[in-house]
Structure 1
């Protein structure tokens, strides 16, 4: 299975999306001789494979759908999970703020279900590397499956370890720390970063933020910022 946002046509093995009335959508992998059963009829995969993305197709009872590639946001929102995941609103800001790009070497601690891991792997590209630490075997197993589903498993090194032991790397371009008590690991994170590398963590409570700020200052981090992200959707209808 793979997700190839640069392809022009739907191919066997690729992840596809069908969007019907009221934006009801289905994300699935195209398999020869496969079928997708929906509340508005059945669509055969063989009829979809080879079509240009954006084609309108119809179920066996005539219900219309658009055949589309899922966006990265679509994939992350539909990700199988066994933990709280990060959502596109936060992920996009983190990637831009830490200047994550092709060819970079990025550390992540707290793999969870792999949503951030997928976004990092997409950003660093085939020439980059993501090293993701997790201490829970079940979480890591699910993350591996999620990365394999989009075809990014070759871009990630998974490590099963308690991060209190520190990190093997010493020259990471950026570090994302997603654990409940990041303030206990700031020293280890600093040792893993290259000089001038970026560090980010996401916290739900002010008490955690306060402790983390203190630890960052104690470890001589500079240009520290704290922010809150808010996102509001509106109906896309003109007045």
Structure 2
């Protein structure tokens, strides 16, 4: 028989007071406590299918498993199971940021959470940072950047296409519950609009078809020690960007990588990789801005034979002529 002072899961010794809601001044996009009107919820059925919608008094949610009343959800703490009129069961939670961005309306393709996380971490986006991004896409990365810089930082987003900017504005405002005070969205081409703005930035993030066209503008805006990062889909884009950064001469040697995400199936002794995975989405490449007038140490490692041969037509460092490479390999 348990001692009088011993606690069990069924009879906790104390009941702690619930945490207060997250301060509005934090602009986190997160709430604690009971679900309320105007919030978005995420329903997950027994097959893992997901439904996101905004809670509205007197409204119904419909699916192939019948309907349920929004009023049944409002006022309850998230993390419960609800049954629809046709007997379907759903888990009810507030959507996480990583869940919100893959289900929100899209104008352009979104940057997936695995890459957003890499960008925030590897570009060292910190509270209070001034970050420039181009383009804004559907606002997925923007939400992560705003979370990282907080209310004392700044995110300046440049977008060429008005229809993409409109979708991003709607998504970001929906997630944070209003116009985030640190976000500034501007229509225009970064290569022209950034120099004209006079902005100085800690980080510049390029998510576009031809990021090499913006290297000069990014270099002029970046503070010494700042980070330039590009998100590109193909190897040809990656090559062109890396060589342009090298030729510029005002950055450290670019670092390129990609991340792959594979789930695992775990049931007793049946432990194996899942049949599905998130494979290649894009390449990431970072480089740090040198101080004005300073150059990085010259690479001593020789390029691979043929790397800059007759079939290569991209940017080429001044000391790597075709003749010099032929003499080296002779």
Q: TM-score, length-normalised on structure 1? A: 0.92
Alpha-carbon offset, residue 69 of structure 1: 1.3
Give the distance between the partners of 1:134 and 1:4, measured in 2 at CA.
Answer: 23
Residue of structure 2 equivalent to 1:156: 183
Alpha-carbon offset, residue 140 of structure 1: 0.7
- Flag structure 2 segments of 5+ consecutive residues without an equivalent: 1-26, 271-330
Structure number having the greater helix percentage? 1
Partners of 1:10 and 1:53 within 8 A in 2: yes
1:75 aligns with 2:100: yes
| Aligned with residue 203 of structure 1, among 206, 224, 232 | 232
Q: Which moved more, 1:159-168 or 1:91-100?
A: 159-168
1:33-68 Cα offsets, whole Å, 9 max, x none, are 221112212111111111111022221233221111
1:163-184 Cα offsets, whole Å, 9 max, x none, are 2214125321211101111111
State the secondary structure of the residue aligned to 1:149.
Answer: helix
Give the distance between the partners of 1:225 and 1:20, measured in 2 at CA.
Answer: 42
Residue of structure 1 equivalent to 2:137: 112
Residue of structure 2 equivalent to 1:90: 115
Residue of structure 2 equivalent to 1:237: 267
| Aligned with residue 209 of structure 2, among 172, 177, 180 | 180
State the secondary structure of the residue aligned to 2:106.
Answer: coil
Residue of structure 1 equivalent to 2:320: none
1:25 aligns with 2:50: yes
Q: Which has the larger radius of gyration?
A: 2
1:225 aligns with 2:255: yes
Partners of 2:59 and 2:70 within 8 A in 1: yes
State the secondary structure of the residue aligned to 1:234.
Answer: strand
- Flag structure 1 segments of 5+ consecutive residues without an equivalent: none
State the secondary structure of the residue aligned to 2:91.
Answer: strand
Partners of 1:42 and 1:60 within 8 A in 2: yes
Moved over 3 A (4+): none
